[in-house]
């Protein structure tokens, strides 16, 4: 019940992860376009980063290319960048949210938290609902794909 409460009362997401790599490497993976392109975006996606100006007010434009050929535009503006500590960015096209990523060096490991805050709970619910619908649709595409593959063999 508590979990439900926190997920429906908040207007965003909170993630926390201890990464098995020192802060310098984590920072590099987060801040250099050639690295971020390698891990951002769901499985099967590729990414094109046309701009990543990591300073306050700097723009970050990233397009995720879905396996079905759909492009997903992500336009962000950096609000705060503190080396090895913190990245705050605002996702300025839909869905609008403010993300705060914080890093805490712990020897050979790095703890990171990732908070995403939407404009309102209403907005968050809309996003979650739309994502759920899209996710359902994607699963259908995957199923169809698998089915067609089977037919070929």
Partner 1 sequence: MKARRDVYQAIADPTRRAIINMIANEPHNVNSIAEKFDMTRQAISLHIKILTDCGLIAIQQRGRDRYCEAHLEQLSEVAVWVEQYKQHFERKLDSLENYLEKLKKERHGKPKK
**Among the candidate windows 3-11, 65-73, 82-90, 144-152, which touches partner 1 by CB under 8 A?**
3-11
- Work out whether 114 is an interface residue with partner 1 (CB under 8 A): yes
23 neighbors 111 (Cβ within 8 angstroms): no
**Contacting range for partner 1; rule: CB under 8 A; set: 41-49, 76-84, 86-94, 144-152:** 41-49
Tell me how far, at minimum, the Cβ of 19 lies from partner 1, in Å: 6
Residue 108 burial (C-beta neighbours within 10 Å; 0-12, 13-18, 19+): exposed
In the complex with partner 1, the residue whose CB is nearer, 92 or 114, is 114
Return the number of the residue (11 or 79) whose C-beta is nearest partner 1: 11
Q: How many CB atoms lie within 10 A of CB 120?
A: 10
Residue closer to partner 1 by CB (options 56, 73) is 73
Distance between CA 108 and CA 31 in Å, rounded? 19
* Three state DSSP letters for 39-91: HCCCCCCEEEEEEECCCCCCEEEEEEECCCCCEEEEEEEEEEEECCCEEEEEE
Segment lying near partner 1 (by CB under 8 A), choices 12-20, 54-62, 71-79, 80-88 = 12-20
For residue 87, count other CB atoms closer than 10 A to its CB: 22
Stretch that binds partner 1, among 26-34, 51-59, 75-83, 145-153 (CB under 8 A): 26-34
Q: Which residues make up the interface to partner 1 (CB under 8 A)?
A: 1, 3-5, 7-9, 13, 15, 17, 19-21, 25-26, 28-29, 35, 38-43, 108, 114, 116, 121-122, 125, 127-129, 131-132, 135
């Amino acid at each position: 019940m508590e979990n439900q409460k926190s997920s429906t009362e908040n207007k965003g997401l909170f993630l926390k992860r201890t990464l098995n790599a020192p802060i310098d490497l984590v920072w590099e993976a987060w801040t250099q376009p050639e690295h971020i392109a390698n891990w951002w975006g769901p499985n099967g996606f590729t990414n094109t980063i046309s701009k990543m100006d990591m300073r306050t007010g700097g723009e970050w434009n990233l397009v995720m290319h879905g396996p079905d050929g759909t492009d997903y535009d992500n336009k962000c503006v950096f609000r705060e960048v503190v080396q090895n500590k913190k990245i705050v960015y605002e996702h300025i096209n839909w869905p609008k949210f403010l993300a705060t990523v914080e890093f805490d060096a712990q020897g050979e490991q790095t703890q990171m938290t990732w908070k995403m805050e939407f404009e309102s709970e209403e907005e968050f619910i809309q996003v979650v609902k739309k994502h759920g619908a899209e996710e359902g649709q994607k699963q259908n595409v995957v199923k169809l794909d698998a089915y067609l593959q089977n037919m070929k063999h």
